[in-house]
Amino acid sequence: MARIFLLLLGLLTTATFAAPFVTTGRCQAGETAITVGVPDEPWDFPADNWDFHPFRYTDTALSTESYDNLRLSCTLRIDGVVADYPPYDVAFHTRYTDPGLLFYHTGLLLRQDGKGDGYRVLFSTVSKDIALYRDGVGFLAARPCALEEGKDYAVVVEAVANRITVRIDGKVALEAIDRPSSLPRAGKVGVFALHGRGDYSDIRIDTLPGSLSKPPRRDHPLITRQWHRWLWVFDGDEPIARFMKYDIGNHRNTTTDDMGPYRFFGISDAKLRPGTPPATPWQLDWDCTLAGANKLRYKTLKRFEVRNLSREELEFRWELALQATGEFVGRGTMTVRYDAPNNRYIYDCRTAKILDAPLAASDIQYADPWPYWAIGPATDDMKTWPRRLRYFVYTDDAGVLRKIPLNHHWPAAYTFKPGTIAVFVSDNEVNPAFELLTEGQTMYGGLCNWGLDLHLQLKFTKEQLPLPKGKELTAKFRVTTYGRQDAQALLAGAKFLDYFQQAYGEMKVPINTGQVLNRFGPTSWVKPTDPFDAWIWEGLTAKNWDQTTGVDDTFSLRLEKPGVYLTKNFGAGGYYGVFPKGAYELRAMVKTQGATGKGAWLSVLNWPLPDTFTSEAVAGTTDWTLLRARFPGPIIGATLRLHLDGPGTAWVDNVQVVKVE
């Protein structure tokens, strides 16, 4: 038997790793038997929607070598499985999560580069399928396979360039072709287990010659499948969208279209191009899940139908009723089709709400899309995830193309021009686009500073109100994607929203998230090119940027008018878990000249609670003094504030948020 060494692989997880099993060189047939994983207790997601979910992987390397094109053969037995059913939607509205991995209790790791990329060939005796998953992208393919616990299977996996083929007992069980661009070309090979045990024996790894495979001629239709307890749209073997029924008070509520109660009905995990990460969810029933509706507002699906309009297009129809009374309150249709010339998916939605009471409000929301990849955590206490979206671009009612940086600052609501497209712009090939097609109504809404979700509303004049009970309101919108060049062209032709021009003069103050010093230096404040994760002091402009004095340079922030200068809920709008349990300090160096009254000081407001934590104050004329405002966690958001009590001047420098013992 080959010598055994220990090597710790840093793969995509925040879990605690068991000591990996590593052999030198190639694993020869019959030489090695590996048991990976220990059955674990059923687990639940954290109570909030911000932390990374602590998947408890056990990863084991098979070789110290890196492989590109290979054939891996082995005998696999799965046992000790703990069947747990994750609440898919606990975090659907902040970022894309991968709880579907919890259905797979063991698998093979291919081309793991140690930097967050690589493939996982996944096996499940619970969902009875095999899947191909790419780290950082998601599921590329899944196909039914009647795997059983305690039974031996001869597994052969071939990875040749962008083609992955899996054979079980000599038959092809799964085959997928990844996009040829940005492939993980070489990396470690291994096995892993999650809430179960995988026994691997007769392991052999052989290198193969390889070349890129052209995508096959698309000869499969769009279909629907029950997968992982939910109704999904599949493009061949690739899952591209999920119908979701979601009760914010019960994350494990009904999981199929069985007419059960829910508070959210919509689409989640929606892909906009084949082979790319899911991009966005959106609602289909006119009610925001976060609005706090009581159980009297719970709804049921009275009718839900699926029709194949063509091989490239599916149509869904539904009717909604209040669970408590059975009163008919809405209907809708959605078609999803593959747009071959542009290699994208297009979702056309037409929804209607029937008022079950007179409407006196001036606006009503019909959809609330949440783009994935737009937000990230605000402190170093939590693992970060990719942020790919940077700007929001839309056409206002005057026909002017506008852009808004996705920095969690709320520039109030605005009016859209009907028939135009609102786009979340990134540097990638997927840029979620929402075409606003409602006719005969004023289109109104805006980005939420909390989650960067797009509130889409109809607005009514005083003369139109109240709307009578029984009136049917309709909305029509399309969800798709812009390519990289088209999205960048939109951005280049857009103007900043007047709000940003007037309030800040395009001045942005990046905090770079978390425990990072802000020195207001020559490149860290005025008109930086990347205004994201911005820490913007409301009420200040570039005129307050003093370039003549500072603690350890010649730059600082100058306050000359009495007032309170604050950030908008530091931590990206007050997300859950921004400041976990512990103690923190807002620190800054402050110098004053003729500061009257109480002088200058710092404070932290516990958002949304009324708790305020303050520092000591300095008044009169003083040299640089360190001020500290200590505040406790956990809190969901903090508004950081600078105070100047009366006439005089105060300079602020080296602002820092620090976790303290």
Tell which residue, 44, 176, 58, 175, has the closest CA to residue 106: 58
Residue 323: pLDDT over 90: no
For residue 538, is it within any domain?
yes
CA distance 181 to 164: 15
SS3 annotation, 232-286: EEEECCEEEEEEEEEECCECCCCCCCCCCCECEEEEEEECCCCCCCCCEEEECCC
Mean pLDDT of 535-541: 62
Together in a domain, 54 and 200: yes
User: Mean pLDDT throughout 351-357?
Assistant: 93
CA atoms of 273 and 268, how far apart (whole Å): 15
Structure confidence at residue 77 (pLDDT) = 93
Query: Are 475 and 331 within 8 A, CB to CB?
Result: no
Residue 18 three-state SS: coil
pLDDT of residue 265: 84
Report whether pLDDT(291) > 70: no
The pLDDT tens digits for 173-208 are: 999 999 877 787 788 898 888 888 889 988 888 888
Instruction: Report residue 501's pLDDT band, with 50, 70 and 90 as the boundaries.
Output: low
More confident residue, 479 or 45: 479
Domain containing 342 equals 219-350
In eight-state DSSP terms, residue 88 is G
- pLDDT given at position 531: 37
Kindly indicate the confidence band of residue 497, based on its pLDDT and cuts at 50, 70 and 90: confident
pLDDT at 518: 47
Based on the number of CB atoms within 10 Å of its own CB, is 260 exposed (0-12), middle (13-18) or buried (19 or more)? middle
Q: Cβ distance 13 to 57 under 8 Å? A: yes
pLDDT at 63: 72
User: 434 with 365, same domain?
Assistant: yes
Alpha-carbon dihedral sign for residues 512, 514, 515, 518? positive
Q: Any idea what the CATH number is for the domain that residue 634 is in?
A: 2.60.120.260
pLDDT of residue 84: 66
Domain boundary among 154, 172, 207: 207
Secondary element (H or E) of residue 486: helix 484-492
> In the chain, what are the helix, strand and coil shares in percent, each to the nearest 5?
5, 45, 45
CB environment 163-181: b (16+ within 10 A), e (fewer):
bbbbbbeeeebbbbbbbee
Look up residue 85 and give its amino acid.
Answer: Y
pLDDT exceeds cutoff 50 at 397? yes
Residue 6 has pLDDT above 50, yes or no: no
The answer to whether residues 471 and 464 touch, using CB atoms and an 8 Å cutoff, is: no
How many other β-carbons are positioned within 10 Å of the β-carbon of residue 331?
A: 18
Whether the predicted pLDDT of 166 surpasses 90:
yes
* pLDDT tens for each residue of 59-104: 677 777 888 899 999 999 999 888 766 555 544 455 666 767 878 8
User: What residues form DSSP beta bridges with 299?
Assistant: 262, 322
Res 11: pLDDT: 27
502 contacts: CB under 8 Å, gap ≥ 6:
none
Say if 214 falls within a structural domain: no
How does DSSP classify residue 28?
Answer: P
% of the chain surpassing 90 pLDDT: 41
Instruction: Identify whether 213 is part of a domain.
Output: no
Q: For position 262, what pLDDT does the model report? A: 67
Is the predicted pLDDT of residue 338 greater than 90, yes or no? yes
The verdict on residue 212 lying in a domain is: no
- In the chain, what percentage of residues exceed pLDDT 70? 72
Q: What is the pLDDT of residue 91?
A: 45
Q: Which residue has the higher pLDDT, 16 or 423?
A: 423
> Beta strands 545-546 and 389-395: pairing type?
unpaired
Highest mean pLDDT among 319-328, 482-491, 574-583: 482-491
pLDDT at 624 over 70: yes
pLDDT above 80: residue 106: yes
Q: Are 440 and 527 in contact (CB under 8 A)?
A: no
- 370 and 426, same domain (yes or no): yes
Q: Which of 207, 237, 254 is the last residue of a domain?
A: 207
> Do residues 302 and 266 make contact, with C-beta atoms less than 8 angstroms apart?
no
Judge if 165 and 243 occupy the same domain: no
Tens-place pLDDT, residues 398-448 = 999 998 877 665 566 889 999 999 999 988 899 999 999 998 889 888 887
Q: Are 515 and 579 in contact (CB under 8 A)?
A: no
Instruction: In the chain, count H helices and then E strands.
Output: 2, 41
- Do both 558 and 471 map to the same domain? no
Rounded to whole angstroms, the Cα distance separating 550 from 547 reads: 8
- Band (26; pLDDT cuts 50, 70, 90): very low
Q: Is the pLDDT of residue 38 over 80?
A: no
Whether 464 is covered by a domain: the verdict is yes
Whether the predicted pLDDT of 48 surpasses 90: no
Residues 518 and 559 in one domain: yes
- pLDDT above 90: residue 214: no
* Domain identity same for 334 and 359: no
Tokens of 151: 């039974």
Tell me the average pLDDT of the chain. 78
- Residue 25's CATH number: 2.60.120.560
pLDDT of residue 657: 76
Q: Which residues pair with 70 in a beta bridge?
A: 159, 207
From 303, 318, 350, the end of a domain falls on 350
Same domain, 438 and 289: no
Q: Are residues 457 and 400 in the same domain?
A: yes
- Quote the pLDDT of residue 538: 64
Question: Within this chain, do residues 361 and 493 fall inside the same structural domain, yes or no?
Answer: yes
**Which residue do the tokens 């069985």 mark?**
258
> Domain count of the chain?
4
